[in-house]
Amino acid sequence: MNPSPVILLTLDHLRAFAAWLTHGPGTLRQVAGRADMHLIDLHPRTVELVALGALQPMAQSETEGPIYAVQLSDVATPSVTDAVERKLNSLPVAEQVSIAAGIMARHGRRGRIVPATEQEEISLTGSAAEAAPTLSSQPSTLNSSAFTLE
Name the maximum alpha-carbon separation found in the chain. 85
Is the predicted pLDDT of residue 139 greater than 70, yes or no?
A: no
Using N-to-C axis directions, what is the helix angle for 80-90 and 93-107, rounded to 10°?
120
Third-level CATH fold of 11-75:
Arc Repressor Mutant, subunit A (1.10.10)
What is the pLDDT at residue 5?
61
Other CB atoms within 10 Å distance of the CB of residue 76: 8
> Cis omega (within 30 of 0) on the bond before 25?
yes
CB atoms within 10 A of CB 66: 15
- Residue 150 or 42, more confident: 42
**% of the chain residues with pLDDT over 70:** 61
Q: What is the pLDDT of residue 90?
A: 86
